[in-house]
């Protein structure tokens, strides 16, 4: 589906078109804009009710930490939202989030460091049987994960060393799985870049990354936004939020790919499209078309049709506002609708 730039005054990207709701439905004849289905790229289904997100305009979610059996069962259900997932958190022994009261049973795998020989080759690579690390990655893949979630939180406990993290990334990539890292504390974002991790699940907020590291990250990683949780926890003018936005501004300027994600399930948050998250992304410099791109990105999959979302679309009633400041609230009115309920104009 392509668009004529004259169709919509605000540039929402090449897939936006004016549309009208079917005359046979509950919202007969409503006029608005149709877009591809929206995805929240960071949620926790065990700590929320993901089906409620559909009423707020979200058709797909990416779970980034859950009991793999529980989240796999969620993903196997009919209906929306479609769920892609990482399975369990992988962390160092005694590492975050092993001591957190919100941790759900079966959602954590604490892994020992790999042992290396004199040639710095991990000994488990030479072993006849798989070690704990390979077993943990194999388990996530067996449960249908699309991504492996690794936790590096140097502010809250031990983290994997370079050799162990290299081995995790290699094992995940051997299965065709992306690696997504929670990077918190000094040096953790840099380590994720050095080992070739595919994503950061939060925009880094605990340290300012230098421009050279930002450029390396932009060349090989996607960053999931989750800016609004910092505003909630630390305030709109907090150093933490300012740090995250500064990092994201430079990541975007370096050509980095930004994904919309809210960490839904982490404390009190609105269900559906989070206008505050979009407003903070706009504050980081994302234009209207970039906000839409962050919402419809197919990550962690390579092609949107694998999400099996072809039968639905996003419908936002009314015309897009001419003021960029009003755009997040307008997008937050999005609804998931059957594609055949819409007539393109």
Per-residue pLDDT averaged across 283-307, rounded? 91
What count of other Cβ atoms lies within 10 Å of the Cβ of residue 121? Answer: 12
Kindly report whether the global pTM for this prediction surpasses the value 0.85: yes
* Mean pLDDT for the stretch of residues 258-270: 95
CA pair distance 192, 180, nearest whole angstrom? 9
pLDDT digits (tens, 9 = 90+) for 133-189: 999 999 999 999 999 999 999 999 999 999 999 999 999 999 999 999 999 999 999
- DSSP class per residue in 59-73: EEEEE-SS-HHHHHH
CB 190 within 8 A of CB 214: no
Q: State both tokens at 277.
A: 């998250």
Task: Give yes or no for residue 3 having a pLDDT over 90.
Answer: no
User: pLDDT tens digits, residue range 220-234?
Assistant: 999 999 999 999 888
Q: Is 335 helix (H, G, I), strand (E, B) or coil?
A: strand
Q: What is the mean pLDDT of the chain?
A: 92
CA-angle at 129, arms to 125 and 132, nearest 5°? 75
Q: pLDDT for 5-27, tens place per residue? A: 335 789 999 999 999 998 776 77
């Amino acid at each position: 589906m392509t668009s004529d730039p004259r169709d919509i005054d605000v540039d929402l990207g090449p897939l936006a078109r004016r549309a009208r709701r079917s005359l046979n439905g509950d919202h007969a004849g409503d006029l608005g804009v149709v877009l591809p289905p929206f995805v929240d790229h960071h949620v926790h289904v065990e700590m929320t009710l993901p089906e409620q997100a559909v009423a707020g305009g979200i058709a797909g979610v990416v779970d980034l930490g859950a009991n793999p059996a529980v989240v796999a069962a969620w993903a196997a259900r009919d209906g929306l939202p479609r769920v892609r997932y990482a399975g369990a958190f992988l962390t160092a022994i005694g590492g975050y989030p092993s001591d957190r009261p919100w941790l759900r049973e079966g959602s954590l795998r604490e892994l020992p460091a790999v042992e290396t020989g004199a040639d710095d080759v991990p000994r488990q690579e030479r072993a006849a049987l798989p070690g704990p690390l390979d077993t943990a990655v194999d388990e996530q893949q067996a449960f249908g994960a699309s991504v492996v979630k690794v936790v590096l939180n140097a502010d809250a406990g031990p983290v994997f060393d370079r050799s162990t993290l290299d081995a995790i990334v290699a094992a995940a990539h051997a299965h065709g799985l992306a690696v997504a890292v929670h990077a918190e504390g000094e040096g953790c974002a840099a380590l994720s870049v050095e080992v070739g991790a595919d994503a950061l699940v939060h925009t880094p907020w605990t340290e300012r990354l230098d421009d050279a590291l930002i450029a390396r990250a932009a060349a090989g990683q996607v960053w999931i936004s989750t800016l609004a949780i910092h505003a909630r926890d630390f305030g709109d003018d907090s150093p933490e939020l300012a740090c995250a936005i500064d990092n994201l501004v430079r990541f975007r300027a370096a050509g980095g790919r930004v994904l919309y994600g809210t960490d839904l399930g982490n404390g009190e948050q609105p269900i559906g499209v989070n206008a505050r998250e979009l407003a903070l992304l706009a504050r980081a410099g994302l234009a209207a078309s970039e906000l839409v791109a962050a919402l419809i990105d197919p990550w962690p999959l390579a092609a949107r049709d694998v999400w099996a979302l072809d039968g639905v679309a996003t419908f936002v009633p009314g015309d897009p506002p001419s003021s960029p400041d009003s755009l997040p609230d307008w997008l937050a009115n999005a609804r998931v609708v059957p594609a055949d309920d819409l007539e393109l104009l």
